[in-house]
Amino acid sequence: MSTVVQLNDLTKRYIMTTALSDVTLDVSEGHIVGLLGPNGSGKTTLMKILAALVSPTSGSVLIDGLVPGVATRAIVSFLPDVNHLDRWMTVAEAGDFYADFYRDFDRKRFQELLNIMGLSMRQKIGSLSRGMVEKARLCLVFGRRARLYILDEPFGGLDPLARGQVLEALVANFRTDCSMILSTQMVSDVERFFDDVIFLNKGCVVLAGVAENLRTERGTSIEGIYREVYGHVEAR
């Protein structure tokens, strides 16, 4: 089993703040990793660095042995926590856009995912509800046969029913030759899918390990551990 992501002493500083401080961790192939932490803990910054959208201040980052840049963007499929699609696009045009720029985009898979989510190609992004946009974005991200999937709060606009539907579809489509890093506040809904968990606080890793081992060691669920670590504020 190879390592898809390797971080060593990764630090990101802005003018006034330190977003990440000496983060060291590995993500293995075939693993779904839960990146957990309260708002402002550095989750999004870490994901953006992995997606080559933010440059680190110091430390090393390797994705499949490559430094983040043009080459890694071709193998990393990133879902930001905001709607990144242009409002003028239809779902079909968004699919065309991904197919034009990402060689690993599979139109057939995209169409299948759209069918599962109950979306039509003709619908305009600007006319979709927040939940529908979220579904369309997930179809685009998982329409790619990427090496690493990075999902930042993917279930924000989804109702509980849709959330379950999406989760089932994602796990059914997850391949063993790729990895996924998923950040969410809805820990209880997704914790059963986590292989590994990383708890971040104020830019530092406060706890990390295999999800099952952590549950056994602490005698509680990942959500319970979350409450222990952060003081029962953020978990739902």
Partner 1 sequence: MWKLARYQLRGRRLLYTVGLLIMAALTLFEATEFIGMRQDPAYSAPVSIGVPATMAICWVIFYGVMTIINIVTYTQDLYGDTGYLIFGLPLRGAEILGSRIIVLIIDTIMTLLGGMSSVILLACLAPGLGEQVRPVVGRFLLTGDYWIMCLGVLAVIVSFMSIMFFGVTFGKSLVNSRKHLGSVFSALVVMTVLWLSLKAGIWLETTFAGWDLYLDPWRNLPSIIVDGKGPIQFPFLAPLMFVGLGVLAFVLTAWLMDRKLNL
Q: Which residues bind partner 1 (CB under 8 A)?
A: 14-15, 48, 51-55, 69-71, 73-74, 78, 80, 82-86, 88, 93, 97, 100-102
Partners of 60 in beta bridges = 8
Cα 23 to Cα 206: distance, rounded to the nearest angstrom: 10
Query: Which position has the token pair 């990144």?
Result: 84
In the complex with partner 1, the residue whose CB is nearer, 106 or 228, is 106
In the complex with partner 1, the residue whose CB is nearer, 75 or 225, is 75
Let me know the angle formed at the C-alpha of 223 by 31 and 19, rounded to the nearest 5 degrees.
Answer: 70
> Do residues 76 and 147 touch, judged by C-beta distance below 8 A?
yes
In the complex with partner 1, the residue whose CB is nearer, 81 or 195, is 81
Hey, is 3 helix, strand or coil?
strand
Let me know the angle formed at the C-alpha of 183 by 231 and 151, rounded to the nearest 5 degrees.
Answer: 170
In the complex with partner 1, the residue whose CB is nearer, 129 or 176, is 129
In the complex with partner 1, the residue whose CB is nearer, 4 or 79, is 79
In the complex with partner 1, the residue whose CB is nearer, 53 or 171, is 53
Token reading at 76: 């990393």
Task: Measure Cα distances from 156 to 67, 74, 129, 162 in Å.
Answer: 30, 26, 12, 11
Least distance (Å) between residue 223 CB and partner 1 = 29
Q: Helices (DSSP H) in 82-152: which residue ranges?
A: 91-101, 107-117, 130-142
Least distance (Å) between residue 102 CB and partner 1 = 7
Cα 199 to Cα 190: distance, rounded to the nearest angstrom: 15
Least distance (Å) between residue 117 CB and partner 1 = 20
Cα 102 to Cα 147: distance, rounded to the nearest angstrom: 12
Least distance (Å) between residue 182 CB and partner 1 = 17
Least distance (Å) between residue 133 CB and partner 1 = 11
Least distance (Å) between residue 42 CB and partner 1 = 13
